[in-house]
Structure 1
Amino acid sequence: MLCNNNIDKDLVPIKAHYFLYSAGTGPLVVFLPLIAKQLGFSGILVGGIYFILPISGLVAKPLFGILADRFKLHKILFIVFQAILSVAFLSFYFIPEIPIIPNVNTTLSCNDYELFIKVCPPNGEYLKETTTHDDHDDDYNKIGQLQLSCDGSSKINNELCNGWKENEYCSHVNETKNLSSSSSSTSSFNFIGKFNMSKNLLVKKCLAIKLDNIFMSTKKINNEINWKIPKCNTFIETMCNASLTNVTTIKQMLIASNNNNNNDAINYQFYLFLWAALISWIGMAVVVVIADAICLDILGENKRDCYGNQKLWSSIGFGVFGIVSGFLVDLLSNDSYHKDYSCIFYGMLITMILDMIVSTRLNKKSNDPTVTNDPSILWEFGSIIKETRIIVFGFWCIGAGMCTGVVWNFLLWHTTNLMLNDLTWITTLLSLMTGIQCFIGEVPFNFYSGILLKKLGHMNCMSLILLVYAIRFMAYSLIENAWIYLIIEILHGPTTGLTWPVMVMYGDKIAPPGIRATMQGFIGAIFEGVGVATGSLIGGFLMENYGGIILFKVFSIGALVWLSIYWMLQLLLRQMKSYPLQQGHSHLASYATPSDAIIMSMSQELETY
């Protein structure tokens, strides 16, 4: 049945919910990995968090789906969990950053004509950004400062006294005449070094930063810094601990090199973030499942294919508020490195309050008689998920979920790394990517999802999603100009944008009356609890140890492998002649004349699978 373009008053509240809910939660969900990164979490920690979160949905979605179906609590659970996730999301705003301890190991070398420190970040991270510049690079020719605390020795004390003319170290030189070298080697010296970004040099997988001027941090003359040009009469080399600097790219490289953060500080912020994320994710899981069940119930049997026309309002809300939020974040941030995300939290709170008000207008049209005091919900549900076709469908959901997890959690992270030379409007670029994903990607594919499923069938649509994911990921791995990603984001439509309508509409077709919320919870649990969780864990490991380029290459190849296995499983199903009525889909059966039955079964096979 074609969807009627006339306004249906019964569908206005559900459209408004999709719009407001995604407008409030969407920008925050997208930028949450970047917020975690700004708080000081590593890629492995973020991947671990996003591995745990979907597992919570694995339990929450089917559990509360069953409760909603069994006790008819759809509307109550819906509004209660909207309030819960709003409070949990707001709590992220009050989590403090992990303090960065100036404990980055560097090597200081000095000879008769120069002084430099050598920093070796893991896997050469950020090295390219510190030595390549363009005319619009704010860090190019920028004068930076580093505070260093270096290990001393008798030889170094002698150089500080005679070469750097620091008289207070001459006493240490005299002491070494009467003390063992081991006792004198325990001393240290602190100073501030000034450097010019244009003079950085790459030495294998390390960065050599030339210090043009130095200032012993304990000395001031009339409260003024007395800079001097460093010069050593003899070659010296020692280990130093470097603190943060005012140059963005050097700052990020030092943070990446800092593997000795305070464990207590990490645990403190980590657990606050994890608990807030768990509560909010459970809230979102319940709201999404029940919203889809209510939407399908309001549409009724004859308009189920119009689900995408309602869901597209979610993409519109997400797109509009995503673009505006990204622009405001950049506008309100005083510096390009540390972003102010407060506007996203305020927007979330306002829109979620409006959403809860709108949700009070939602009403299910019908109550399935099979639900009332019927203990067979779990039995009926259990009999369905044992079917071979459902197992193969679950396999596809896991693969699609793994790909989706990478897009959700690490695409913007990788894009940010590519834009280290120009961070001023990076959040605006990320929001434009989100806008293209929504308006050019998700909206048209949500609108025409019913037609696509009728024309291509579910199996072909599922295959298309994995194939385009492989192309999309390979493009990310090959293109280094982040602005070109705005073109690639058009592929968000036939991938992430089409995935959810395919899953929801397929699940609705195979679900018997009375357990539709249960089935939607099961599908969402497999997709997020297994697929997204696994993709996040693997993606976090690859991002931290090998970088975004390797991450997307691996998942591009992985999507093709998953697609090949899915095709082989479908071919086996065809050979087994595993049709729905033979598998126990009694709810799909209906009486018809022999000639009509043949046509109906062929059409049903195409539409459902």
Structure 2
Amino acid sequence: MGIDWRMFPMKMHYFLRFMGTGPLTVFLPVITRQKGVPARVVGGIWTVLPFVSLVTKISAGAIADYTRGHRAVFLTGVSLMMISLTALYWTPDLPPPCSDPTPPLTLPPGTLTPSSQPPTAPRSVDALTTTEGGRSEPKARVVFTEPPNTGQDGMATNSSDAISLPCLEASNDGGEVWEVLGCYEFWLLFVCLFGQYCGHTTGITMQETVCFQMLGEARHKYGAQRVWGTVGLGLSAILAGALVDWYSKAQGHQDYLPAHILTAVFLAADLVVVARLQFPRPERKDGAKVRHGAQWWIRVLLVLVSTGAVGVACGLLWTFEFILVEDVARRWQPQFPHLKLLLGLLMGVQCFLAEVPFFLLAGRIITRLGHVSAFFVSLLGFSLRLCLYAAITNPWWFIPVDLLHGVSFGIVYPCFTAYASSVSPKGAEATTQGIFGATFFASTGVGGLVGGWLFQGLGGQQTFLIVGAATGVYALAFAGAHALLTHCRPGAKTAEKGSSAECEGLRAQTKRREEEEEEEAMEAEEVLKRRHKESQITEDGVS
């Protein structure tokens, strides 16, 4: 089997795009926490961001379909990711909480005047207060390590006089959150995170739309393109982790500058690839009635709801899987020495042993089973995976269980993107992809939110058991609803088999298409030979 050079640029995009985002997106919650954002605010940010996709994914797809400016919207998404992730490095850290021990800022002798010197020289006093609207806000704290000495002119001469840096006043009634929201540093950070997520969701919508436009009728080959994104993600996570550890040895803290450089370089290269992509320009049709019928067609709606159910399970996994692994490891051995190694192995298993083979096989699986049956298998895979997580006591057992990542995510992602492409009316491909993608990513936010409530109240393993059991029940309900629809609407059976029959016919259609392209190439070669021969005859006649 030769290389499909027509799809090679799309493979390059997936590889470069995930090589660019992989070094940072994995570490974004850690970076946010390192910049001084409290843990519960970090959780709130990652609960809010997925809901952004409801607006950005649908609007980006609709704009691209209406203007037929798919390339421009595509480039905008990649550019927004690159700018936001690069700017994130230069956002300032938040002031530390006042309860945290912060190194004092030593003042030179003679800095404190009699008017600013406390009469009894206490250990520390609030200073530099301002009143806005009648409310006093401590901006800093003066700290004296010993009573200040004063000279004849009344100036403080004790070199141990010190003043701490500005700090946030924390309280137990949620005041810490409001103090954080009142910092301009937080909003600079949030703007960068918001921008990268908007670019991320826009880029996903457009890359899937363009990929299916290039594939044409060969939708079953989507997994063979998308797998290069997984390869890029796995390689970039390993490379970035090693470079960050090496660069941070002399820093005293984790410095993610190498990851930011990798992101800028690979996303800049991706911009070049996207700008030169050759894909058919979609037709623009006024298909509002057709689009409405496609969106609310009952079986499409059932698959759309199932996409949301998958998103909830993924949201729980993406947010709490590694936290559960850490909890189990510490219960197994309080000073578990191989935690970082275990987390790295889990990422490697998910990328290279689970996603890669199943993305490559997804086309054949969907062709043989059909979209609905493939959805059912993946839902069962999610259910089994979550329930097994709840039963693990030895942390090393997470490695073989994570092989189910291929049966679950590795099947369902190509499945619902291919399904969205198959049911979208002409001229509304990006809009339909945006609707399915927005449903999935918004549901990941629901999964993180509900998972957080359960995790706090019941613990990690009970949370995974409950969500796993609920996913299994939904899988059975999904299969039962589809069987009922097929029984009640015999015509729908033929239509649904279209997902299977259509896939069965894809190979024949693709083969015919390849034969036609080969014939066209041969005809073009014959024309070139004939023209070359005619030119030689003309030259001979002239001579």
The TM-score by the shorter chain falls in which range?
0.7 to 0.9
- Structure 2 distance, partners of 1:487, 1:459, is 27
Q: CA deviation at 1:43?
A: 5.3
Q: CA deviation at 1:307?
A: 0.9
Runs of at least 5 residues in structure 1 that lack an aligned partner in the other structure: 105-145, 148-187, 191-216, 220-254, 589-598
Identity among equivalent positions (%) equals 27
Match of 1:175 in 2: none
- Structure 1 distance, partners of 2:94, 2:455, is 20
Q: 1:467 aligns with which of 380, 383, 401?
A: 380
Change beyond 3 A, Cα 1:472–1:98 = farther
Q: Within 5 A, what are the aligned runs for 1:315-326?
A: 315-326=230-241
- Verify the 8 A CA contact 2:37 2:180 in the aligned structure 1: no
1:433 and 2:346 are equivalent in the alignment: yes
Q: CA deviation at 1:50?
A: 2.5
- Structure 1 distance, partners of 2:501, 2:312, is 31
Change beyond 3 A, Cα 1:572–1:600 = closer
What is the number of residues matched between the two proteins?
A: 443
Q: Within 5 A, what are the aligned runs for 1:112-511?
A: 261=176, 263-265=178-180, 267-268=182-183, 269-301=185-217, 303-334=218-249, 339-364=254-279, 366-369=280-283, 371=284, 374-376=285-287, 378-418=288-328, 426-511=339-424
Q: CA deviation at 1:98?
A: 4.4
Superposed CA offset, 1:143-194 (max 9, x none): xxx99xxxxxxxxxxxxxxxxxxxxxxxxxxxxxxxxxxxxxxxx999xxxx
- Verify the 8 A CA contact 2:367 2:500 in the aligned structure 1: no
- Structure 2 distance, partners of 1:258, 1:413, is 26
Q: CA deviation at 1:417?
A: 4.8
Match of 1:563 in 2: 475
Runs of at least 5 residues in structure 2 that lack an aligned partner in the other structure: 103-121, 125-143, 147-169, 507-543
Q: CA deviation at 1:446?
A: 0.7
Q: 1:46 aligns with which of 42, 54, 58?
A: 42
- Structure 1 distance, partners of 2:53, 2:99, is 39
- Structure 1 distance, partners of 2:355, 2:500, is 30
Change beyond 3 A, Cα 1:494–1:601 = closer
Match of 2:426 in 1: 513
Superposed CA offset, 1:232-266 (max 9, x none): xxxxxxxxxxxxxxxxxxxxxxx9x9987474235
Structure 1 vs Structure 2 CA RMSD: 3.5
- Structure 1 distance, partners of 2:26, 2:324, is 13
- Structure 2 distance, partners of 1:337, 1:552, is 36
- Structure 2 distance, partners of 1:419, 1:345, is 31
- Structure 1 distance, partners of 2:186, 2:459, is 22
Aligned letter for 2:230? S
Q: 1:603 aligns with which of 493, 501, 505?
A: 501
- Report SS of the residue matched to 2:403: helix
Q: CA deviation at 1:423?
A: 8.3
TM-score (norm 1): 0.65
- Structure 2 distance, partners of 1:464, 1:14, is 28
1:90 and 2:90 are equivalent in the alignment: no
Change beyond 3 A, Cα 1:294–1:77 = same
Q: CA deviation at 1:401?
A: 0.4
Superposed CA offset, 1:299-329 (max 9, x none): 222x221111111101110111112223333
- Report SS of the residue matched to 1:10: coil
Match of 2:130 in 1: none
TM-score (norm 2): 0.73
- Verify the 8 A CA contact 1:34 1:413 in the aligned structure 2: no
| Larger strand percent | 1
Q: CA deviation at 1:568?
A: 2.9
Change beyond 3 A, Cα 1:340–1:415 = farther
1:101 and 2:97 are equivalent in the alignment: yes
Q: CA deviation at 1:58?
A: 1.2
- Structure 2 distance, partners of 1:409, 1:335, is 31
Aligned letter for 1:350? V
- Structure 2 distance, partners of 1:605, 1:447, is 16
Which structure has more relative contact order (CA 8 Å, sep 6+)? It is 1
Change beyond 3 A, Cα 1:348–1:579 = farther
- Structure 2 distance, partners of 1:515, 1:61, is 13
- Report SS of the residue matched to 1:8: coil
- Structure 2 distance, partners of 1:336, 1:467, is 46
Aligned letter for 2:424? A
- Report SS of the residue matched to 1:448: helix
Superposed CA offset, 1:449-501 (max 9, x none): 01001122222211121212122222323324444323222111111222210
Match of 1:540 in 2: 452
- Verify the 8 A CA contact 1:48 1:540 in the aligned structure 2: no
1:572 and 2:484 are equivalent in the alignment: yes
Match of 2:3 in 1: 7
